[in-house]
Amino acid sequence: MAQQRPPDPTVLPGIKLRGRGVASNAAGRFEPQARCAVDDGWGGDPDPVVLRTEVRLERPRSAISYNKSPDLPFDRSINPYRGCEHGCAYCYARPSHAYLNLSAGLDFETRLIARPGIAEVLASELRAPKYRAAPIAIGTNTDPYQPIEAGHRLMRQVLEVLQASHHPVAVTTKGSLVERDADILGPMGQAGLARVGVSIITLDPALSRGLEPRAPSPQRRLAMIRRLTEAGCPVRVMVAPVIPGLTDAELEAILEAARAAGAVAASWILLRLPGEVEALFRDWLEAHAPGRAAKVLARLAELHSGAVYDAQFGTRMRGRGLWADLMEKRFALTRGRLGLDLAQPPLRCDLFTPPARAGDQLSLF
């Protein structure tokens, strides 16, 4: 049962946090000073004001980001947006806002940055003589189909570039706007150039609303899987993150519902609480699930040799120990029973052709 949150000193009095995942706007870890919101009294006693989302624009100098992480199945990604309005309380990407001198708390979900022109920059990078095609992941940091995509359409533009150049792409999302692009993702999926991962962490709409306040409901996400599958794009259900002591009991039910909706593959990832996310999620537990807070945190510590989070490659996404082994076995048994363990063919890279420039000589073949 959710409780009334006490006032947070980092948020001005009179601000209503309607549909927000966290209630703090504490300064990022790189800031030399902490901030405390103070009402100077000059405003009188106004009616409460709802905290609105604001979007700033950034001209990107690059589109593709590269990584060498040994436990990620891709080496490059694209992020059309910084920050995410879905407001997931557990989001491991929140600390990335600290690099912008913004808070991992409310700033992450209310002070967003869109990157217009990213599609043109991408096309230029794909034309580079040394570029070699490999699957590009989109949605691994912040969701490309968060609500502001409806107006900015940056993800749509990126997909158009990738489709025109026959470049493989793997999309991760929980945003229903992905259905808008089924006309691109469907044909690319049929050609072996695209697949989509849809994240579902619970089938309980009330729990989902608390954890992911501005994301589509679980049933809506199942409908997304069905729509994309019907369009011809293979869909993976991602039970990510699994929150021990809170959502782990739903693993089998989520996989069964996703399989019924048309998913062809499945994966799971353990809850990760890097940097500022640990304190934010602790506060969320105390406000929304006080009876389970101690159990969740104790289980996480058990999985990480006494720490709530461990950034070590190889175990950061699964944990270690008895519970991690049992979770992996449950997942493997259910995935096998449902036929979600069939190997998916790798995305095709042999069809890639660099994007054409205006005025380029057309091929005769």
Q: State the pLDDT at residue 26.
A: 87
Tell me whether residue 207 is in a domain.
Answer: yes
Does some domain include residue 361? no
- 133 located within any domain: yes
Give the number of domains in the chain.
1
Q: What pLDDT does residue 357 have?
A: 81
pLDDT for 320 equals: 93
> Looking at residue 40, what is its pLDDT?
61
Question: Which pLDDT does position 27 carry in this prediction?
Answer: 80
The reported pTM is 0.91
Domain-located, residue 344: no
Question: What does the pLDDT look like over 344-359, one tens digit per residue?
Answer: 899 999 999 999 886 5
Q: Is residue 252 part of a domain?
A: yes
Residue 180 forms part of a structural domain:
yes
Residue 347 domain flag: no
What integer pLDDT is reported at residue 15 of this predicted model? Answer: 80
Residue 354 inside a domain? The answer is no
Q: What is the pLDDT of residue 350?
A: 97
Domain that holds residue 308: 15-39+48-338
The CATH number linked to 237 is 3.80.30.30
Spans of the chain below 70 pLDDT: 1-7, 9, 12-13, 37-47, 358-365
Task: Report the interhelical angle of 154-164 vs 118-126 (nearest 10°).
Answer: 20
How far is the C-alpha of 56 from the C-alpha of 217, rounded, in Å?
27
